Structure 1
Amino acid sequence: MNYRRFLLLLFFISLSTVVFAQNTVVTGTVTDANNHHPLSYVTVAFTGSNIGMNTDDKGGYRLQSVKPYTQLTVSFVGYKTATLVVEPGKEQTINVKLFPEAKQLNEVVVKSAKREKYRNKDNPAVELIRKVIANKPKNKPEAYDYVEYKQYDKLQMSFINVSEKLSEKKFFRKYKFLLDNKDSTALPGKTILPIYLDEQLSQTYYRKNPEKKKTIMIGHKSVNFGSFMDSEGFGTYFQRMYSDADIYKSNIFLMTNMFLSPIADDAPTFYKFFITDTITNGNTKLVRLSFTPRNTTDMLFEGDIYITLDGNYAVQKSDFSINKNINLNWVRGMHINEDYEQNPDGRWHLSRADMQADFGTSKKGNHGIFGQRTVTYKNYIVNNARPDTTYDGEAVEMSPDVKSRSNQFWAENRLDTLSKAESRVYKNIDSLQHMPSFRRTADIATLLLAGYKGFGKFELGPANTFYSFNPVEGFRLRVGGRTTPELSKRYYFETYTAYGFKDQKWKYFLSATYSINDKSIYRFPQHYIRASFQRDTKIPGEDLQFVQEDNFLLSFKRGVNDKYLYNDYYKLDYVHEFENHFSYSIGLRNWTQSPAGSLYFQNIENGQLHTIDKLTTTETNVQFRYAPHEQYYQGKLYRTPIFNKYPILTLDLTNSFKNVFAGQYGYQKIRFRLDKHTYLSQLGYADIGLEGGKIFGQVPYPLLTIHQANQTYAYDLNSYNLMNFMEFVSDKYASLKIDQHFMGFFFNKIPLFKKLKWREVASVKSLWGNVSDRNNPTLHPSLYQFPVADNGVPITYTLGGKPYVEGSVGIENIFKFIRVDLVRRFDYLDHPDVSKWGIRARVKFDF
């Protein structure tokens, strides 16, 4: 899934836009005309104005004004002053070459002087930003008792500088209608080819007490790529990447990272502030406050904010970007612009937020992907109470006809305009996805990226399971597939068959699923019933998901790995998800386990050792899950959750029936799990998992909790990476797992690591548990004896008075996608075939 998401991400990456209004925007670089070296601290200003700046250490500058200035003045000591023509109302690039000015200078005596160090104390710029911070609560929309507004959200993605000759090549001639739909006005100096567009129109109502925010979707329109990819899923993922860039929030989430706002409470600790201008916009007096990171490699912005001097100290406009030295993959540049309008009471609200990003595999280059997002707010009304029914119901309400609005509806209700190239995207992509040649190409891409080969109503795969090997089965061949919504949106079937050449046994799986809500079972909200049967091998352990154990890459394991189970599973499952992201499922399972390889089931009765061929249980399971505000990247036949800041709570209750369908044991089991993705601003983020469980009743060791070990060389986030299979069992346990990603916060201060863009990561996993006396085979010989190795040394243990603990430190973002961890095991080192240290690797694509 990570490979598919990464490659599709590069194919469709970014959405965050600046749609250029009537502002005059000039960017460029100032260099020496003779040696072409960049010139720092050159004064660049609109002629006849007080709007200007000094160039940075690379000679770069960026000026912007709502006034139609027509000239630019560039001056620097020792060089001839240059005056250049500017086109008002446009964004343009003007690179300037300054010529040295030949003058006879008198003798000059230069004495060293101590440069004044930047400090917060007695700094008027810092005093001003502290006033902005102090007044934030009253300037936020939540300061009002009631707020309502209409919102238009446009996401667009384009290729940059597609060659003019491409459409003339034989293979691409049939796509000429698509390749010629270019726009040369949106991005100065470059042409863009729009290929993705998503529009949403909504009405939002906010009530302060009791607090409730409700959004009613009015219209939603998106390009449709057909079965090749899920356009709605991409829209959700991109909106997640470019969530609302609200400067009033302490942290702004962009590109899966948290950026500290320049008006966050602790902003003066991380930013430098400078008062660079005082201007009047209408009747409003503003201070232009420039800011830059203290450390240019941290997740921070640089730019300008305009502060009102009316006593509110509100942000009237913001214009900022990310620093070029930041440790961020694939992103060559990002710019954000926010405009605010004044309310009747004199306060200000956000009226327009524009974002744009330039993506590529390298920092330099003229080709890549350009993403845009524009959000426009209109009809802003404050303190107008609505009936309570207005705020009732789900946070987001969408009627069935929202996605079927007519072209006339959009022409009349858009709060922004589409460019000529954007307006053609819908028709072009619709024509594209109906072309047989494109469908064949997309089919091949799906096989390479997702592992499935489509045949209309059925698809074959996944390809990475066709061949694998293990000590019990030897070489293993598998073939399988599943039906698609083209066969039915109500009925789904999945199957595979596999054969092991060493044990000479067939394995197979078959499931039939009925969708109760007539929606795809791979899309939210799920509501279905499924019956399945599976006969296959499994490594003993809790939730190892052995359906995927025959992935070829998982065939390589360390240590002894010859204790398997043959399993027969008969299952009936009912799953029901609700719009508020609460879900429950009910399952019935009849499970027969038979030992394989060197594994065995033995007990002692009347002083005699008995060997048991199989163990059968009949269980019912109820699971409750709550994942508030959970979002998915979901396609036609898959879905993947997208991390957010909210916790995920899961409660499992299991009851096993004795003497029902040959069930041999009666017991109860309870398990609770909490997962939290925690953002720590400049310190990155942490994934935290807390879990606990208990078994009530007397059971043999295969039915105890067999703690999830990992004997592969891949770093597994959920397993104990230096624990052996079947090493520990418990009937009551608790665990804590923390995986901390610092996102280069420390490495960025080290020159070599800074250049390599490496990032530091650390984790700790701890497990407490025990086996009660009633489940101890030493005290109750009729229970299955814990297995031992051929030399009589035990291989399965209980956790005693101390926990199992392992930790790791590692480096991620090696070559932008590899993570390597040095893992340390701290306890139970006297067990056989265990390692105190280990090196594990993991592939992960991230920004």
Structure 2
Amino acid sequence: MRYPLPKMLSPVLLLILFFTLISNTSHAQTKTRIHGRVFNDFTKEPIAFASIFWKKAGFGINSDSSGHFTILASPLAKDSLVVSFVGFAPLYKAYQPQARDSVWLDLVMNELKMGSTVEVKSKFNKGLRWWKQVVAHKSRNNPYTFQQYACELYSKTEIDINNISKQYFTDKKLLKPFLFLLDNIDSLSDQRPFLPIYMTETLSDYYASSDPHKTREEIRAAKTDGMKNESVLQFLGGMNQKINIYDNSSVLFGKEFISPISDWGDKYYDFKGADTQVIGGTKYFHLLFSPKHPGENTFSGDCWIHSENWGILKINLSISATANINFVNRLSLVQEFALQSNQQWMFAKDKAVMDFAPLGKDKLSFIARKTNSYRNIRINDPSIHARLQQNHQRDEVIVSETAREQEKDFWPSQRHEALSENERKIYKMMDTIKTIPAFISYTKALTFIFDGHKKLGAIEIGPWYKWISGNQKEKVRMRFDLGTTDEFSKYLRLHGYLAYGFKDNTFKGRFDVTYKLPGNKGITFFSSYTNDLDNGRVRYNDEDITTDNLFSQLIRRPGVPQKFLGVEEVKFAVTKEWPNKLSVQPFFTRSDFETFAPLPPRRTLLRRAAQQNITNAEIGLKIRYAPGEKTFSRHRKDTRIRSSLPVLELRAAFSSDGLLGSEYAYERVGMNISQNFRIPRWGKLNYMLYGGKIFTNEGLPFMLMEIHPGNEIYYYNKQSFNLMNRFEYISDRYAGINIEHNIEKKFLNLIPFMRKSNMRQFWNFKAVWGDMSTASRILNHIEYTNEYKLRSLRGGIYTEIGTGFENIFKLLRIDFVWRHAPLRKLPPNVNPALFKSNTQDFGIFGSVRFQL
């Protein structure tokens, strides 16, 4: 039954309906549009083609190739914006209607646990087919195959403190002076706030050739805070830390990582084809990859592949969860390439982001971000060859004298990309923090603890761990060092120490002078005077644990008496080093020696009745060639970072009877060649070959011959024979070899429960052949008495074989060492037990190795 409306109500309902329609139409026309960008929380890189949709409303879009998107607001009063992308945890963003026409949202996505396998449904493995095509076309698409190329390189490095909060600063009394820094915290991510603390930028001209391999980086502009050392600046340029994904493997932090597009990548990775997208009018395949086996140094990530020439447009790499790198929670690498007009691919941008956590997971950590971008690329230009011809070594970094003198308006126009808000804050913040008294005090305290020295303006004291020590001769030994700093002079360093033994009641000391000629001419003058015990030093003493330190007596092997030489020595040397790392050092040394029990008394080592002292004067020349080596220069000492090329050292010297009081005449020659390099998929190998000979017609005391380096403590020494006593074997002609092969986890990964372990395995082998003239054996009582236990190898070979594990708790190393010594030829009718060595044929040694 129908009920007609009253006549007066009909116009009212029509008006209400009319205004309702008008209102809805107006609302639809002014509906809010949401703009934004999707990016990776860790790398800050945009995420292309992420899926963005309303959970309740049900409609959505994809982000574009740069991560940007625009979507209409949900018509519902309450809804959630959902963002999803393979390899990332889904993001849910609650949203309520806004009165504004436009809203901007930054959507930050967190990667899934590194190493987790991403499942993509497919009837067949199209990802494996794509991978095979990429490998088949590597030779064409690899930018490193160009004969020569050059470009403008912009490099930027940023360091942030991660996992911090106001509560953390408030709870830590030592950090309260820095509470103001929290105003600069990046609040972009509520889950992982970080505080930018340091940044540097460089602008360079970069040149490279593939055959022969050469690179040259000329840093013409640099902007940094607190870094004044040019040698450090070289390592902040763009040339270092560069990897090539087209190589079968790359080295990161000294570890070999297998590339997902290596020739044997299918043995290490699972591949999945995700989808196909059109970018800039070109179709690209989206390939996902994840580690096939835990415990191997591999990556997880994805890449975009050109559908026609199979080149890589962009690749994202994250280290797998079980990759064996110490203190690194996360490491992500991004590489982008651009197709040139000749249809060949070239570098466009690299980015590396590392989360370094020395205190452990979820503790205060540091995030380092390094970005390289490339412009003005030239390929096979004749000018490139001319530039590379200026190189003195294979890889060279040149820092312009005016690199830091650019005006403030230089950088905005020269940067390849504008600084973010956080990056702009860093330069202002560092100027402030350096004026805070607490920061100055903490910096000095930490430097004193770890470096051992304390600066007091133009002078410094230390190292503190040598202030007090002990040994069998001196009982308690006190020592105090004093040296100048770069505030005194950048080129001249004075250093000396005074020591006193409370048992022998004798003062000892040393004074040395080092002067580097200004102007980077590579010329250094050195002179020293020493009157002290030798304190356990041997020929290769860079790693020696000498006896004059606080800890040495705690780790001595029992039953082995300490042996000392007293040395009064004057030395002069001049070193000239060329840019190609060839150096020449003529030197002069005059020494007087004293012996102490249980070594033979000095009087028994004199050749003539009128002789009273063991005095020797020697003039020599040392030549060293270390191609590719880089030098980290500090005022106190230069640190050398070797390349994978061999290092050669040659030494020659002579002494003449009567030369400045010398009692001996001889000529000596020696050489050694050493190298550190990686064996693909089989770890790292170090070796050293060495040998020498002394030419003389008379017997020489043992301290003038080759004393094969022994070790009498439980701390392992790579350069010594660890089961050989000091002064046990002596030679005047010798040849030897040291080999150590770190196979990392190659065999440990075969044991299932060891795959997640951080331990690494190694083996080593050391051997030396030696002999001694009859005259020298008689003079030194070699093998004619059991009292002093000095020996000659007599043409035999001494061998030590070892294996062990390192990276135990990320710091400790344990060596298991076996020795084989040649049989001795004893005098007739003697008791062999009297000549037995007091060392064992097997030993266990420990050491601390800080490494990534």
Q: Secondary structure at the match of 1:503?
A: coil
Cα deviations across residues 173-218 of structure 1 (Å, max 9, x unaligned)? 6545544322233x67322111121211111233567764332222
Q: Counterpart in 2 of 1:278? A: 276
Q: How far did 1:510 drift? A: 0.6
Q: How far did 1:654 drift? A: 1.7
Q: Counterpart in 1 of 2:16? A: none
Matched, 1:785 2:810: no
- Name the aligned partner's letter for residue 568 of structure 1: E
Cα separation, partners in 2 of 1:800 and 1:238, compared to 1, 3 Å: farther
Aligned ranges 1:299-448 → 2 under 5 Å? 299-310=297-308, 312-361=309-358, 364-365=361-362, 367-386=364-383, 389-394=386-391, 395-448=396-449
Cα separation, partners in 2 of 1:423 and 1:25, compared to 1, 3 Å: farther
Quick one: distance in 2 between partners of 1:177 and 1:270?
A: 48
What CA RMSD, in Å, does the superposition of the two structures yield over aligned residues? 3.7
Q: Secondary structure at the match of 1:326?
A: coil
Contact 1:156-1:372 at 8 Å conserved across structures: yes
Q: Percent identity?
A: 25
Aligned ranges 1:454-469 → 2 under 5 Å? 454-469=455-470
Q: How far did 1:356 drift? A: 1.2
Cα deviations across residues 484-535 of structure 1 (Å, max 9, x unaligned)? 011122321100011111222111101122221267xxxxx85321221000
Quick one: distance in 2 between partners of 1:317 and 1:133?
A: 16
Cα separation, partners in 2 of 1:365 and 1:25, compared to 1, 3 Å: farther
Q: Counterpart in 2 of 1:141? A: 143
Q: How far did 1:277 drift? A: 2.5
Aligned ranges 1:249-260 → 2 under 5 Å? 249-260=247-258
Matched, 1:819 2:821: no
Contact 1:678-1:685 at 8 Å conserved across structures: yes
Q: How far did 1:622 drift? A: 1.5
Contact 1:148-1:204 at 8 Å conserved across structures: yes
Aligned ranges 1:190-269 → 2 under 5 Å? 190-207=192-209, 212-224=214-226, 233=232, 236=235, 243-269=241-267
The one of 155, 160, 163 equivalent to 1:161 is: 163
Q: Counterpart in 1 of 2:489? A: 488
Q: How many pairs are equivalent?
A: 758
Cα separation, partners in 2 of 1:94 and 1:557, compared to 1, 3 Å: closer
Q: How far did 1:788 drift? A: 7.3
Q: Counterpart in 2 of 1:806? A: 800
Contact 1:260-1:681 at 8 Å conserved across structures: no
Q: Counterpart in 1 of 2:184? A: 181
Cα deviations across residues 413-455 of structure 1 (Å, max 9, x unaligned)? 1112222222232333234334444322222212111111221
Matched, 1:646 2:648: no
Quick one: distance in 2 between partners of 1:468 and 1:237?
A: 40
- Name the aligned partner's letter for residue 20 of structure 1: E
Quick one: distance in 2 between partners of 1:95 and 1:261?
A: 20
Quick one: distance in 1 between partners of 2:175 and 2:274?
A: 51
Deviating more after overlay: 619-628 vs 172-181:
172-181
Quick one: distance in 1 between partners of 2:185 and 2:629?
A: 36
Cα deviations across residues 31-60 of structure 1 (Å, max 9, x unaligned)? xxxxxxxxxxxxxx99667x9xxxxxxxxx
- Name the aligned partner's letter for residue 196 of structure 2: P
Q: Counterpart in 2 of 1:587? A: 587
Contact 1:23-1:89 at 8 Å conserved across structures: no
Matched, 1:533 2:529: yes
- Name the aligned partner's letter for residue 247 of structure 2: K
Q: Counterpart in 2 of 1:93? A: 109
- Name the aligned partner's letter for residue 409 of structure 1: F
- Name the aligned partner's letter for residue 93 of structure 1: M
Cα separation, partners in 2 of 1:646 and 1:417, compared to 1, 3 Å: farther
Q: Counterpart in 1 of 2:576? A: 576
Matched, 1:689 2:688: yes
Q: Secondary structure at the match of 1:683?
A: coil
Q: Secondary structure at the match of 2:402?
A: helix
Q: How far did 1:463 drift? A: 0.8
Q: How far did 1:645 drift? A: 2.0
Contact 1:537-1:564 at 8 Å conserved across structures: yes
Q: How far did 1:316 drift? A: 1.5
Cα separation, partners in 2 of 1:180 and 1:622, compared to 1, 3 Å: farther
Q: How far did 1:257 drift? A: 1.4
Cα separation, partners in 2 of 1:692 and 1:499, compared to 1, 3 Å: same
Deviating more after overlay: 726-735 vs 200-209:
200-209
- Name the aligned partner's letter for residue 223 of structure 1: D
- Name the aligned partner's letter for residue 186 of structure 2: D
Task: Tell me the TM-score normalised to structure 1 length.
Answer: 0.81
Quick one: distance in 2 between partners of 1:685 and 1:26?
A: 44
Matched, 1:843 2:837: no
Q: Counterpart in 2 of 1:99? A: none
Quick one: distance in 2 between partners of 1:95 and 1:302?
A: 11
Structure whose CA Rg is larger: 2
Cα deviations across residues 276-325 of structure 1 (Å, max 9, x unaligned)? 32333223332222222221210111112222232x32212111211112
Cα separation, partners in 2 of 1:431 and 1:787, compared to 1, 3 Å: farther
Quick one: distance in 1 between partners of 2:480 and 2:450?
A: 18
Quick one: distance in 2 between partners of 1:660 and 1:678?
A: 44
- Name the aligned partner's letter for residue 190 of structure 1: R
Q: How far did 1:482 drift? A: 0.7
Q: Which sections of structure 2, spanning at least 5 residues, go unmatched?
A: 1-40, 53-57, 72-80, 96-102, 113-119, 825-835
Q: Counterpart in 1 of 2:566? A: 566
Contact 2:513-2:527 at 8 Å conserved across structures: yes
Contact 1:25-1:64 at 8 Å conserved across structures: no
Contact 1:308-1:315 at 8 Å conserved across structures: yes
Cα separation, partners in 2 of 1:17 and 1:95, compared to 1, 3 Å: closer
Contact 2:479-2:498 at 8 Å conserved across structures: yes
Quick one: distance in 2 between partners of 1:711 and 1:530?
A: 31
- Name the aligned partner's letter for residue 410 of structure 1: W
Quick one: distance in 2 between partners of 1:736 and 1:322?
A: 36
Quick one: distance in 1 between partners of 2:675 and 2:560?
A: 34
Q: How far did 1:743 drift? A: 2.4
Task: Tell me the TM-score normalised to structure 2 length.
Answer: 0.81
Cα deviations across residues 611-645 of structure 1 (Å, max 9, x unaligned)? 97531111122222222222344444344333432
Deviating more after overlay: 557-566 vs 65-74:
65-74
Q: Secondary structure at the match of 2:419?
A: coil
Cα separation, partners in 2 of 1:711 and 1:757, compared to 1, 3 Å: same
Matched, 1:713 2:714: yes
Cα separation, partners in 2 of 1:85 and 1:379, compared to 1, 3 Å: farther
- Name the aligned partner's letter for residue 815 of structure 2: D
Quick one: distance in 2 between partners of 1:178 and 1:313?
A: 48
Q: Counterpart in 2 of 1:33? A: none
Quick one: distance in 1 between partners of 2:647 and 2:556?
A: 31
Q: How far did 1:840 drift? A: 0.4
- Name the aligned partner's letter for residue 345 of structure 1: N
Q: How far did 1:476 drift? A: 0.9
Q: Secondary structure at the match of 1:189?
A: coil
Q: How far did 1:387 drift? A: 7.3
Q: Which structure is richer in relative contact order (CA contacts within 8 A, separation 6 or more)?
A: 1
Q: Secondary structure at the match of 1:439?
A: helix
Contact 1:603-1:609 at 8 Å conserved across structures: no
Cα separation, partners in 2 of 1:17 and 1:392, compared to 1, 3 Å: farther
Cα separation, partners in 2 of 1:817 and 1:635, compared to 1, 3 Å: same
Q: How far did 1:465 drift? A: 0.8
Quick one: distance in 2 between partners of 1:299 and 1:828?
A: 42
Quick one: distance in 1 between partners of 2:667 and 2:137?
A: 56
Quick one: distance in 1 between partners of 2:533 and 2:247?
A: 51
Quick one: distance in 1 between partners of 2:233 and 2:752?
A: 37
Cα separation, partners in 2 of 1:277 and 1:644, compared to 1, 3 Å: farther
Contact 1:602-1:784 at 8 Å conserved across structures: no
Cα separation, partners in 2 of 1:236 and 1:326, compared to 1, 3 Å: same
